[in-house]
Amino acid sequence: MKINRLARLLSFSAAVVFLAGGCTTPMRSFNQDYDENYPPQPNYSIKDLDADRFKLRIHQGTPYQGAQRVVYMKQAAWVIANAEGQRRHWVRWKVDYIQERDQGWMHVLVAIVTREK
Protein backbone atom coordinates (compact mmCIF):
# COMPACT_ATOMS: atom_id res chain seq x y z
CA MET A 1 0.00 0.00 0.00
CA LYS A 2 2.77 2.48 0.94
CA ILE A 3 4.77 1.49 -2.13
CA ASN A 4 1.79 2.32 -4.35
CA ARG A 5 1.47 5.78 -2.82
CA LEU A 6 5.18 6.38 -3.12
CA ALA A 7 5.14 5.30 -6.78
CA ARG A 8 2.22 7.63 -7.53
CA LEU A 9 3.93 10.51 -5.74
CA LEU A 10 7.17 9.94 -7.65
CA SER A 11 5.40 9.70 -11.00
CA PHE A 12 3.46 12.88 -10.25
CA SER A 13 6.68 14.66 -9.22
CA ALA A 14 8.41 13.48 -12.39
CA ALA A 15 5.50 14.76 -14.50
CA VAL A 16 5.66 18.17 -12.81
CA VAL A 17 9.42 18.42 -13.38
CA PHE A 18 9.00 17.33 -17.02
CA LEU A 19 6.24 19.84 -17.71
CA ALA A 20 8.13 22.65 -16.01
CA GLY A 21 11.26 21.93 -18.05
CA GLY A 22 10.33 24.51 -20.70
CA CYS A 23 9.81 27.16 -18.04
CA THR A 24 13.23 27.15 -16.42
CA THR A 25 13.68 30.85 -17.19
CA PRO A 26 11.45 32.96 -14.93
CA MET A 27 8.71 34.84 -16.73
CA ARG A 28 8.42 38.60 -16.34
CA SER A 29 5.48 40.93 -16.97
CA PHE A 30 5.87 43.20 -19.98
CA ASN A 31 3.26 45.70 -18.73
CA GLN A 32 4.94 46.03 -15.32
CA ASP A 33 8.53 46.18 -16.59
CA TYR A 34 7.87 48.65 -19.42
CA ASP A 35 4.95 50.61 -17.93
CA GLU A 36 2.82 49.79 -20.95
CA ASN A 37 -0.85 48.95 -21.24
CA TYR A 38 -0.96 46.21 -23.85
CA PRO A 39 -4.33 44.44 -23.76
CA PRO A 40 -2.94 40.87 -23.77
CA GLN A 41 -0.72 41.63 -20.75
CA PRO A 42 2.12 39.53 -22.17
CA ASN A 43 4.68 37.74 -20.05
CA TYR A 44 8.18 37.20 -21.38
CA SER A 45 11.53 35.59 -20.68
CA ILE A 46 15.02 36.22 -22.01
CA LYS A 47 17.58 33.44 -22.32
CA ASP A 48 21.15 34.13 -23.45
CA LEU A 49 22.29 31.84 -26.25
CA ASP A 50 25.79 33.33 -26.56
CA ALA A 51 27.45 36.75 -26.37
CA ASP A 52 25.74 37.94 -29.57
CA ARG A 53 22.30 36.31 -29.34
CA PHE A 54 19.43 35.83 -26.95
CA LYS A 55 16.10 34.07 -27.19
CA LEU A 56 12.98 36.02 -26.37
CA ARG A 57 9.80 34.11 -25.51
CA ILE A 58 6.56 36.01 -25.08
CA HIS A 59 3.18 34.61 -24.25
CA GLN A 60 -0.16 36.20 -23.73
CA GLY A 61 -0.82 36.38 -20.03
CA THR A 62 -4.61 36.63 -20.10
CA PRO A 63 -7.33 35.63 -22.55
CA TYR A 64 -7.67 38.15 -25.35
CA GLN A 65 -9.40 37.28 -28.59
CA GLY A 66 -8.94 38.93 -31.94
CA ALA A 67 -6.47 39.39 -34.75
CA GLN A 68 -4.81 42.38 -33.06
CA ARG A 69 -3.16 40.17 -30.45
CA VAL A 70 -0.47 39.15 -32.95
CA VAL A 71 0.27 42.83 -33.59
CA TYR A 72 0.52 43.52 -29.85
CA MET A 73 2.85 40.55 -29.32
CA LYS A 74 5.21 41.68 -32.10
CA GLN A 75 5.19 45.24 -30.78
CA ALA A 76 6.02 43.93 -27.30
CA ALA A 77 8.85 41.80 -28.78
CA TRP A 78 10.33 44.83 -30.51
CA VAL A 79 10.16 46.96 -27.35
CA ILE A 80 11.89 44.25 -25.30
CA ALA A 81 14.54 43.57 -27.97
CA ASN A 82 15.24 47.30 -28.31
CA ALA A 83 15.60 47.83 -24.55
CA GLU A 84 17.72 44.71 -24.08
CA GLY A 85 19.95 45.60 -27.07
CA GLN A 86 20.57 49.06 -25.64
CA ARG A 87 21.23 47.62 -22.18
CA ARG A 88 23.89 45.36 -23.74
CA HIS A 89 25.40 48.37 -25.60
CA TRP A 90 24.71 46.83 -29.00
CA VAL A 91 24.72 49.32 -31.87
CA ARG A 92 22.62 47.23 -34.30
CA TRP A 93 20.59 44.06 -33.94
CA LYS A 94 17.86 42.15 -35.73
CA VAL A 95 14.82 40.25 -34.52
CA ASP A 96 13.98 36.94 -36.19
CA TYR A 97 10.61 35.46 -35.31
CA ILE A 98 11.23 31.72 -35.27
CA GLN A 99 7.97 30.45 -33.89
CA GLU A 100 4.43 31.69 -33.61
CA ARG A 101 1.56 29.55 -32.49
CA ASP A 102 -1.84 29.70 -30.94
CA GLN A 103 -2.60 27.44 -28.02
CA GLY A 104 -6.33 27.91 -27.80
CA TRP A 105 -6.72 31.44 -26.42
CA MET A 106 -3.01 31.93 -25.74
CA HIS A 107 -0.62 33.21 -28.38
CA VAL A 108 3.07 32.32 -28.07
CA LEU A 109 5.86 34.15 -29.89
CA VAL A 110 9.51 33.09 -29.87
CA ALA A 111 12.20 35.28 -31.39
CA ILE A 112 15.97 35.25 -31.65
CA VAL A 113 17.62 38.65 -31.26
CA THR A 114 21.08 38.81 -32.86
CA ARG A 115 23.68 41.56 -32.65
CA GLU A 116 24.81 42.69 -36.09
CA LYS A 117 28.47 43.61 -36.44
CATH of the domain at 71: 3.30.1360
Predicted pLDDT at 20: 42
Is there a domain that residue 110 lies in? yes
Look up the domain containing 94 and give its range. Answer: 23-116
Nearest Cα neighbor of 58 from 72, 78, 79, 42 is 42
pTM here is 0.70
Instruction: Give 48-81 pLDDT, tens digit per residue.
Output: 999 999 999 988 866 655 666 777 888 889 999 9
Give me the sign of the Cα torsion angle 39, 105, 15, 23: negative
Instruction: Give 17-38 pLDDT, tens digit per residue.
Output: 444 444 467 889 988 998 888 8
Is there a domain that residue 2 lies in? no
